[in-house]
Amino acid sequence: MKRYYLAIDIGASSGRHILGHMEDGKMVLEEIYRFPNGMQKRDGEKVWDIEALFEAVLAGMKKCRELGKIPVSVGIDTWAVDFVLLDKDDQRIGNAVAYRDDRTKGMDEEVYRTVPEEELYASTGIQKQIFNSIYQLMAWKKKKPEQLEKAETLLMIPDYLNFLLSGVKAQEYTNATTTQLVNPETGDWNREMIQKLGYPEKIFLPIREPGTVIGHLKKEIREQVGFDCEIVLPATHDTGSAVVAVPSNEEHVLYISSGTWSLMGTELKEADCGTEAMQHNFTNEGGYNRKYRFLKNIMGLWMVQSVKKEIAEDLSFGTICEMASKCTIPSIVDANDDRFLAPENMTAEVQKACEESDQQIPQGIAEVAAVIYNSLAVCYAKTLKELEEQTGCRYRTIHIVGGGSNADDLNRLTAERTGRTVLAGPTEATAIGNLAVQMITGKECNDLKDARNCIFHSFEIKQYEP
């Protein structure tokens, strides 16, 4: 009898329910439900419609019942840094504010008045991004202190969804590290820093490891979806799950988790919280088995997604990529410039950046996309050089996993610009990594090494040479 595992993988623009099972030693996937996601304006803030997200979680679980494929466990992963606050009655306080909201503007300086930037990095190993949870909490403290005072619990987005399913409040490790409030040596909250910043210490729950079974569906949820199952914590940070799915057991592995963001890095046994790592803006996010994901956040395919929405909504990403591959426009922009984080119009911003640097201004979807793809590849090459200098390793191969591994032109450009072999795939890396952790917990795989070997033999991986 097949044992099914359910990965609920929620990204910034969409979510999906994917069932996985083992068959003849290979992992087999079946997408059974997909739903939209996106930020909305509410009360003057950019927020997530958390109620709609939870209804979508339940809708996909009901689909399992309809198909007669009942999972033995379910795991939820989402993006990082965003959270909700609960009061003493476990009711949500305020909105589930999204990381692209501008409430954190200037909050870095407020934090540095208490904890200088160099000390903050040395104590957490997390790169500065203005939307990190540490700055979101400062915004709450400065702008809505009465709400923060009522808070009894902080839950990251996937942990909150797990709470709604199970009634159990649990904080998972990989997502917790993205708050910039975790000590990389102990893997626990940096409570001294939390106290210094004046955040209520009681809201930070004990941290649980990926692979932990936190409980079962609560009674009313069982009645709604028509079954019960265990709730397993995968690496709840989607990049953490995607890195689990990197199909290599080499000691020194270089990856790009390519999607809305491009997360480029390697795995370390110990965090690198030194000055040079800080200057290069590398981060040490928590990984499965307490490895550190030493990586850099690069703007990623968010730029293409935005341009598609603005000027080519009817075209597929595959078509856009193919059109871009035929362009010869040489213009390059800094893909990691904050100007591309949340511009009013991405197309205009790319054109303006080219104009300001006296380069050819791209016209139309093909040329704009070509500039973005070329710029990303240049950024990857620069980051590769920094990584090799920082780690002392020479990486022969770059593994590109996630939805962006389908971007044929970007993969080709990456191989050309970096001078390295590119192995692209699997596409559904985040869901696969989510499932892999559940399958390790369920004794379908022995350990991470066994799971990665299984993934390598289960999914198509394309090779690109320089």
Digit-by-digit pLDDT tens for the chain (466 residues) are 899 999 999 998 899 999 999 999 999 999 999 999 999 999 999 999 999 999 999 999 999 999 999 999 999 999 999 999 999 999 999 999 999 999 999 999 999 999 999 999 999 999 988 999 999 999 999 999 999 999 999 999 999 999 999 999 999 999 999 999 999 999 999 999 999 999 999 999 999 999 999 999 999 999 999 999 999 999 999 999 999 999 999 888 999 999 888 999 999 999 999 999 999 999 999 999 999 999 998 988 989 999 999 999 999 999 999 999 999 999 999 998 989 988 999 999 999 999 999 999 999 999 999 999 999 999 999 999 999 999 999 999 999 999 899 999 999 999 999 999 999 999 999 999 999 999 999 999 999 999 999 999 999 999 999 9
Instruction: Give the per-residue pLDDT at 58.
Output: 98
Q: Is the pTM of this model over 0.85?
A: yes
Instruction: Give the per-residue pLDDT at 460.
Output: 94
SS (H, E, C) the chain: CCCEEEEEEECCCEEEEEEEEEECCEEEEEEEEEEECCEEEECCEEEECHHHHHHHHHHHHHHHHHHCCCEEEEEEEECCCCEEEECCCCCEECCEECCCCHHHCCHHHHHHHHCCHHHHHHHHCCCCCCCCHHHHHHHHHHHCHHHHHHCCEEEEHHHHHHHHHHCCCCEEHHHHHCCCCEECCCCEECHHHHHHHCCCHHHCCCEECCCCEEEECCHHHHHHHCCCCEEECCCCEHHHHHHHCCCCCCCCCEEEEECCCEEEEEEECCCCCCHHHHHCCCEEEECHHHCEEEEEEECCCHHHHHHHHHHCCCCCHHHHHHHHHCCCCCCCCCCCCHHHCCCCCHHHHHHHHHHHCCCCCCCHHHHHHHHHHHHHHHHHHHHHHHHHHHHCCCCCEEEEECHHHHCHHHHHHHHHHHCCEEEECCCCHHHHHHHHHHHHHCCCCCCHHHHHHHHHHHCCCEEECC
Instruction: Give the per-residue pLDDT at 251.
Output: 84
Instruction: Give the per-residue pLDDT at 297.
Output: 87
Q: Is 238 a catalytic residue?
A: yes
Could you tell me the domains of the chain? Answer: 4-232 (3.30.420.40), 248-425 (3.30.420.40)
Pick the catalytic residue from 77, 101, 238, 409.
238
Contact indicator for 243, 236 with CB cutoff of 8 Å: no
